[in-house]
Each structure stands twice: as structure tokens, then as C-alpha cells.
Chains A and B, each alone.
Chain A
Amino acid sequence: MTYISTLYAYLFYFAAFVLVAGLAAKVFQYARTPAPLKIPTTPAPTTRAGVAFRITREVVFFESLFRGNKWIWIFGWIFHFGLFLVTLRHLRYFIDPVWAPIQFIQPFGVYGGIAMVVGLAGLWARRFLVDRVRYITSPSDHLILALLIAIGLSGLSMRFVVHTDVIRVKEFFQGLYVGQFSTLPADPLLLGHLLLVALLMIIFPYSKLLHMPGLFFSPSRNQVDNPRERRHIAPWARRLEQQ
């Protein structure tokens, strides 16, 4: 089994590298590209603090989606909030000692896992049931949903059906910090779960999952409505003036 553990160790080094480097490259690309015109969707905040509040509402409550479609909002929000709780619950594998808030969140993380799968199922159902959404769905949209649901179900199975040795899982990930390859439990569910998570990390910077950094860089949401008070000009546009 050490052979598989070693393979997984390298897989997670690779996945973590792709996720971090890929996202960093994308964020760098977004940050470097100028937004030459003021295009906030109005009414928009007139101060930076107001913009921060607007983005926070979008990130935490999905405000625009709420106005747009209640079904997508409820399923989407349940999924994302569930995923958030699940992520917090999983922090216990990556920190030692485990902080008190993370200990406190543990049982909620399980509900989060259930919520996540329910939300994803709802979103997937829409891809079949609503003709407009069916029309815009690509194979990759189905695959990403399948991937996330498989991650959720395999995780929940280890909680409710076949337990795995979580102590050794933690040892494995703690070992990765210092280049020590501990042995993972040889449970198919666990290995499947981890494989899918690594896959998710790898596709993140190359798929629509880019909506996560995208939201923070969206000019229609992150710009301050003050074009008359302050002159906004991109470097390439300023060069036109010097010609």
C-alpha cells in the first residue's frame, strides 16, 4: 500500500501546485488587465466601503441571484454554504492542534455535507427539467456536478456507512507538510474520495470554477460609482491622449 500512498502524496503535491499556481496566474492576469471604463451596474455604491459591502452581500447571500431566480438561489446557496461548512470541518485534517471554532463546527460540517449534496441534486435536476437551462448545458457542466456529488457522497459514506481511520488520514496530510509519506488507509471509498478532490483542485483554474475569483474582479460589481468626481483612465487610454 505504500506504493499507492506515495502516488497520492505526489498527486496532492501536484494538485496543490496546480490549484495555487493556476489561480495565482489567473488572479494576476485579471489584476493586470485594466478596466478602461466605469461600468458598475447602477444603482451602485458611491464609496469604496459601499462597494466592499456590495461584494460581501454577493459572496455571502448571492444577492443578485436571489433577485434573478429563487430556485437557483435556494439550491445554489444550500450547496455553497454546505460546502463552506464541509471545508471548515475538514480543516481538522490540516491543522494541529485543532482550533476551538473548528472543533465546534464538526457536527455542522456533517449537515453541511448533506446540504451540499441536496443543493447539487437540485441544480442538476434543473439542467434536465428546464428547457432553457438544458439548452445552455455542456457536457462539462454535467461532469462538474457529477464530480462534486461523488465527492459529497463518498465523504458522507465514510461518515455514515464505512468509517475510515481518520487518524491515519490526518497523519498522511500532516506528513506532506514536511515531506514524509505516511501510509493512507487502504479503503476504496477514501482513495476514491481523495482522487476526486485532487481532480477538482486540478480543474479549478481551467474551468468555470473561475467564477470564484471572477466575482471579485467583475467591474459591474466592484467599481465605485463616481465617474464625474474622479477621472478614471486606463494606461493604454492615457497613451492615446499623448499622441
Chain B
Amino acid sequence: MKYVNSLLRGATITFGLLFFALPIYASSAFAFKDREGNFSLAPLQRAGANEELMESLFLTLQIAFGTVVITLLLLIPTIAFLHLVLPQARTFVEFLTLTPLVIPPIVQGVGFLYSMPTQLKSTPNALIFAYVILALPFSYRAIDAAFSTIDVKTLFEASTSLGANFFTVIRKVIIPNVMNGIFGAMFLTIALVLGEFAYASLLLWDTFPTQLAVAGLSDANTAVALSVVSLVGVWLILNGLTLFNRRGTTTTMGAL
């Protein structure tokens, strides 16, 4: 019986890993080859030479950076405030930050397009403001979960009693203790920005995903190679982050 169970578990895991790995393997086999069918990194070199694609990648990274900065600036003080001063409002804010999930990105994008002033829409940075909202349900939960595992109030009182001022406490005591949540929020936000398509295509900005879609029409190998590299790359970076941050951020990712 025990034996059958572990056999079943092994089979399921093998099947699951194949499920994930097979398309990655098969699409790599498709993309990374030259005209004669030999292994080649030429598609990636072509991608590197494609200026529009590279520009879009830099733009997307810039947007990701901006989104992370605004998200943290907005959320860390708010969540610290909620835990310290207004714990009775936590349920309400939790509900509030879930609302972006109810409004599909494409719908938000249309509303954004028809309501925001032209000055804002005329720069790709407009996407930053939108992406903060899109990432909010995940980023809020990741940071809030980290705050919930520590007793902010007691930590605050203890350090104040030892003579630390407000900002010292935040910087030296609170932030280091919620670092895993911050990492989780950062990662989720970056992952979301790197893949966001609906908003960018509606607002006609050439971000990495929209340029990737364009590239797919002309050079399939390059598009596929970039797809594989971007997914595997983000995955490796995330694993690097969780290694670096021993307490692990993966559980907060599921904290929906």
C-alpha cells in the first residue's frame, strides 16, 4: 500500500514535471537551430540586433523598476500604519486591494484610455501607474503576510523604549523583518510587468510583450527563443532571489 502510494506520487510528479518541461524543451528544439537544423544561438543574436526589441526590453525593465518603487512607497507605509494604528481597518483594505482582480486588465485599460489626460498617456510611464494597480492584489498580500508574522507594535515599543526614533525603527527593525514579504512583492510585480500585454497594446506602447508579439509575425524562431529565454530567465532569477532570501517568498505568492 505504502509502495503503491509512493509509486503513484512519483508518477504524478514525473507527469507534472514533464507537463512543464516538455513545451520548454520542444520549443527550444524548434527555436535554437540554424537552416541546416543544427543547434544555434542565432535567433538570440538576431533578437539582440533587433533595436526595437531591445528598446522595448529596456523600456519594460524601466517600467518594472518604476512600478516596484511606487508599489513599495505606497504599500510599506500604509501597511505599517494599518498594523500599528488602525488594525480594525485591515479587513476593509484587504478587500479594497482585491478589487483590481475583478476588473480584467483589458477593461481597466479601456477605462484608463478614455479617462486619463493626454499628457499622462503621451508617455510610456503612464503604464507604471496602471501596473501598480494590476499588481496590487498580489503585492499587498505578500507584504501584509510578512507584517502579520511579526508583532509590529511590540517591536516598535521595544525599540522606542531603547531610544530609537521613528525612522530608525522603520529602517533598522521593521524593514529587515518584513524583507521576505518585500522580496515576494517585488518579484510578483516584476513578473507581472514583464508579461503584461493588454494595457500596453491598448495604449499603443512598445513594451517587451507587445514587441514580442510583433516579432512573432516576422521571425518565429526569434520570438520563440525569446519566449523561452524570458520565462526560464525570470524563473531562474526568482530561484536566485529565494536562495538569497532564505526564509522563502514562494508561500506568499500563493497568498491570494
A binds B: no
Task: Enumerate chain B interface residues (CB-CB to A < 8 A).
Answer: none
